[in-house]
Amino acid sequence: MKNKVVFIGMPGCGKSTIGRLVSEELKINFIDMDNYIENMTSKTIPELFEQGENYFRDFESLACRELAKEGKVIISSGGGVIKRTENIDVLKEESFIIFIDRSLEELLGDVDISKRPLLKEGRERIIKLYEERYELYRLCADKIIRNDREIGDIVNEIKEVILDNLEMN
Residues annotated within a binding site for ATP? 12-17, 116, 149
17 φψ region: left (φ > 0), alpha (ψ -120 to 50), beta (else):
alpha
CA 104, CA 26: separation in Å to the nearest integer?
Answer: 30
What residues form the annotated binding site?
Answer: 12-17, 34, 57, 79, 116, 133, 149
Angle between helices 151-165 and 15-26 (to 10 degrees): 60
Annotated binding residues for substrate, written as ranges, equal 34, 57, 79, 133
Which amino acids are annotated as binding site for Mg(2+), given as ranges?
Answer: 16
Sheet holding 143-146, edge to edge: 29-32, 73-76, 4-8, 95-101, 143-146
